[in-house]
Amino acid sequence: MTVPRTIAIANRHSRLRLDRCAIMRAIRVLDGHLKKFRGGPPPGELSLVFLTDAALATIHGNFLRNPTTTDVITFEGYPSLGTAGEICVSVDTAAAFARKTGKDFSAELTLYLVHGWLHLAGYDDLVPAKKRVMRRAEARALRLLRAARSLPFFSFRC
């Protein structure tokens, strides 16, 4: 088992309610199974940021030259400086997708966190074959979280 990492959580969405302890517990469950996920993200502090579509689109434009909305953006950290990386998640995109498809909002937002965590572990989803590998890893991670009863709960006020 690895030494628990520091997890910084920033909620920048005024209509999102979250349980920081539950989110940290979920990340720690994933970190406890690093071998199942290519060794997982590097050691160090992990930053999680919950944002509006507009805020994430601004980041998307500034750093990736694509000012459109997206669900998740990850930034690799600097392990030599003690950072694993940052996962930026769009709460609005998760809420809209959940409404559109009838999925549970908490499950969708948790999937986005898992997706970002897997990106930091070296998974990629830009090529169809790699995307399939990532989808299987997402499913595996969510099964682990369910088995550990560590799926975080999020609420979104309309």
pLDDT value at residue 1: 44
The string of pLDDT tens digits covering residues 51-87 is: 999 999 999 999 999 999 999 999 999 988 999 999 9
Per-residue model confidence as pLDDT tens digits over 98-136: 999 999 999 999 999 999 999 999 999 999 999 999 999
7-152 has which CATH code? 3.40.390.30
Going by pLDDT thresholds of 50, 70 and 90, the confidence category of residue 3 is low
Give the residue among 18, 17, 41, 13 at the shortest CA–CA distance from 28.
41
Please state, in angstroms and rounded to a whole number, the distance separating the CA atoms of residues 6 and 125. Answer: 27
SS3 of residue 136 by DSSP: helix
Q: What is the distance between the alpha carbons of residues 105 and 93, in angstroms, rounded to a whole number?
A: 10
Write the pLDDT tens digit of every residue in 32-41: 999 999 999 9
pLDDT of residue 41: 96
* Whether the predicted pLDDT of 2 surpasses 70: no
Domain ranges of the chain: 7-152
Number of residues in the chain: 158
Tokens linked to 80: 């030599």
Strands (E), 3-131: 7-11, 16-18, 45-51, 72-76, 83-90
CA 50 to chain centre: 9
